[in-house]
Chain A
Amino acid sequence: MSTASGNRALQLEEKLIFEQNSPGMTAVDLPNPAELTNVESRLGDVARTNPIGLPGLSEPQVVRHYLRLSQKNFAIDGGLYPLGSCTMKHNPRLNEKMARLPGLADIHPLQPKATVQGAYELIDMTAHWLKVLTGMPAVAMSPAAGAHGELCGLMSIRAALEARGDGRQRVLVPESAHGTNPASAHMCGYKVEAIPATEQGRVDLQALKDKLSDEVAAIMVTNPNTCGLFENEIIEMTQAVHDVGGLVYCDGANFNAIVGRVRPGDLGIDAMHLNLHKTFSTPHGGGGPGAGPVVLSDALAAYAPLPYVVHGEDGFDLIEHAAEAGDNQPYGRMKGFHGQFGVMVRALAYMLSMGSDGLRQASSDAVLNANYLMAKLGDILTPSYDGPCMHEVLFDDRFLNDTDVTTLDFAKAMIDEGFHPMTMYFPLVVHGALLMEPTETEGKATLDEFVGVIRTLAEKAQTGNAEDFKQAPIYTPRRRLDETMAARNPVLTYKPDQAAAAE
């Protein structure tokens, strides 16, 4: 049934800002003192003369626009968001309050060092927590996100190898790895080779050993891995890599399963990024910003990027230039200024809140919740591997065999039930993957409700209701969207002429 307006009660249609233009309107009233504006321009011959085309809206219009848009989003604040590998846990609002404090939000990275000692201390304190939690001696704080951290760690590895005159060219990456791993290795100038997985969802240790040689610069291993499993032969793996003179990068996206329980430093890891926006509760914000500090082993500590905070003679100091680095051999700068400071503030607020005991409890609860889902769903879905999982549980699509329902259809049906779908079709090592990560911030009642819905949907799929799944979702602001059309004829900006011609 359709409405005259196209709206459906709380779901309101919303035009683009460009379609709400009142020329000349602005929602920001600025002063206009004559003594400031009646001056000769110092722009030389490059003053802008053509209009830009930005729309003019009033403040009520703008507020309403973004409120209406927000209501078209699913969010962790609203419900279970079990996206495997993404760690959609609760984002404490204390974090947001702290990041906005005067003295943190309003300081400039190039102020005199004496005026920002509290900021250096905050970075140093965050670094201390990360080093102790991982059992590693050093940390590079400037990478902006997980993939940026991967590149940082690989550059540290390459810089350390080259410092000893070692020009190794190959990096081994398990086929179950995040796509960022091979992409980062490529950006570091390395040739990427895949390592197969075993039937138990782990790196094939023998296959790894067969590929090892003095040509291998590093292995990139994810632990716990993307199948939600702890690499039970990780120590043998790191030992084997070290034996041929290579180094070990660990993708730390899944560190949230083992915080306070296992220290990567005890496993032989040389470099590992930490996603502050996953493990340490800072919000994902619809795609960032994140932060990806990289902890480093003794072998790599001297080869970190610039800048970094040190304890100086008169308080904290910031090493910004290679000439100030003493015995260290930084390979350069990865990012403007000092990294994602505002994200560090949030992560520190979380770590201080949870404490050593709370962080250990959080990882335990995350693992418990995932295993609970496996126990409650394992008979009707098809778990890909035997034995306990870590913080996420992987199913494949065998339970949908002969149903004509795909993993995608199943996910879209979950949306109508009020749940965000799990990660689909990743990792690539199982067919039609469904990767569920409930996180520790879901209670048992929510998990039980989720289990009930998934069981009902699975039974429905297995009893010949494929067409219902093909139609899903039907209660969303938009139904299934045509991604092929979007890619074939890319429309990436609003073009008023085309819109007018189409009417």
Chain B
Amino acid sequence: MRYLPLTDQDRQDMLAAIGAPNIEALYQDVAADVLLDQPVDLPGFKGELEVDQLISNLAAKNLGSGAAPFFLGAGNYSHHIPAAADHLIQRSEFLTSYTPYQPEVSQGTLQALFEFQTQVAMITGMEVANASLYDGATAAAEAAMMSCRVTRRNKVILSGGLHPHYAEVTATNAKFLSLDVVTNPANPESTEDLAAQIDDETACVIVQNPGFFGQVRDHATLAEACHDKGALLVVVVTEIVSLGAVLSPGEMGADIVAAEGQSLGNALNFGGPHVGLFAVREKYLRQMPGRLAGETEDVEGKRGWVLTLSTREQHIRREKATSNICTNSGLCALAFSIHLTLLGEAGFTRLAQLNHATAIALADKLDAISGVEVINETFFNEFTLRLSKPATAVVEALAARGILAGVPASRLYPDNAELENLLLVAATETVTPTDMDQLVGALEEVL
């Protein structure tokens, strides 16, 4: 058993040192009738090669984005990850260290988190950001709960352009806290009037930009409407690359930004692990969930970093904490940060422009097909098609031809006949002209 260094002789010697006759003696506090006398009914020990073959066989049953023209998004995007980013996060010192509770031997992680926080604050246009949450959906739920703490109100209004998973996670978290969650219906045309719904009980309005169906909007007017009524504006971003081209939530007047950072540094991973980004106005800092790295000095006056403001957190405050979160997405945050450092201002802006241009080229080609209409006036790298047939059947027919064409809206809104023909299509920098031609050709055949 390659992961276990003790020899049988070691075990005997150690039991002798302890003064125990056998290992069972160390389990003496377990009632005899529940102490198992043999291994449970599962397969036995395997060598590395066997495990590799077994899991590789499972992987081979899936059609990956690397093996097909690929156009799925809906909150999880396929981007090129620079080789250096994935290499660096596998440095043992990053990969196999714990949460940096001992700052003198964790300055690497702490400095990287401080840089991450700064990058997140910069691109979202906010003043402070935390050291990550689990994902965008849980970040949105935390934003809702935080808004209720800040405003001492109980009502949360969710835009119909919010990712349905984000809305569902927020509703789940609110369920047993007596929070009133108002979920607006799916809104592909982006026509809802949220300002009219804000009242004296409203803690926050949560909108997404670009919206779930792809539209980009300026939410500055909504921010003003929120602030006039003493409510907060939470802006969700599920495609963080968009912030290289689109006005930031901070510039629109957002109070909290809850975002998904997967697009930078992190693979699709079948939906997880991802990295939740959470940024706020400084005045709300002490109601913020999650860890924070902060600058300080050591006893010699040298600059260094520590985890700080932990009096907000569960290990100090227990049931009075701002959240129960402990382990977050440290390594995914590092991958995000390294990718963004590699890009820099020029690369990040360029990557966003390239995504936008690729999506425009694809949208124009698809819109020209009979039976296909692009419903968006605006979009970044993802838009919604109205097909002449139900989208699910079309996507399955295209998958049978080796093309992963997009996400049918009905996958997320199963009982909404009006959305049945809608298909979300994303085009990142990984999409080639050949991919586009294959999609166009196959779609013409299938429709």
Contacts and interface: CB of A to CB of B under 8 A. Distances in A.
Contacts of B319: 182-183, 185-186, 192
Interface residues of A, number: 211
B298 A286 contact: no
A101 B122 contact: no
A434 interface: no
Interface string B334-362: 10001011111111111101101111110
Contact of B122 (A53, A185, A323): A53
Contacts of B305: 481
B29 A387 contact: yes
B10 A16 contact: no
Nearest to B248: A48
Interface in A176-190: 178-180, 182-190
Contact of A145 (B40, B48, B134): B134
Contacts of A122: 55, 58
A452 interface: no
A493 B54 CA distance: 45
B353 A37 contact: yes
A90 B105 contact: no
B61 A112 contact: no
Given A486-B295, A490-B292, A44 B217 contact: yes
17 contacts: A23-B345, A52-B123, A54-B122, A57-B341, A73-B109, A77-B95, A98-B52, A118-B62, A158-B176, A186-B319, A232-B30, A232-B31, A354-B45, A371-B20, A374-B18, A479-B302, A490-B308
A25 interface: yes
B40 A365 contact: no
B390 interface: no
A108 B112 contact: no
A261 B31 CA distance: 11
B361 A42 contact: no
A48 B247 contact: yes
A343 interface: yes
B94 A121 contact: no
Given A44-B378, A112-B399, A335 B84 contact: no
B67 interface: yes
B17 interface: yes
Contacts of A133: 40, 42
Contact of B103 (A97, A145, A356, A481): A481
A356 B43 contact: yes
A483 interface: yes
A487 B309 contact: yes
Interface stretch (B194-202, B263-271, B439-447): B263-271
A75 B26 contact: no
A289 B334 CA distance: 11
B300 to A, nearest CB: 6
A327 interface: no
B296 to A, nearest CB: 4
Interface in A429-462: 440-444, 446
Given A17-B341, A235-B31, A105 B298 contact: no
A39 interface: yes
A375 B169 CA distance: 48
Given A72-B107, A76-B96, A179-B315, A108 B296 contact: no
Interface string B403-427: 0100100011011000000000000
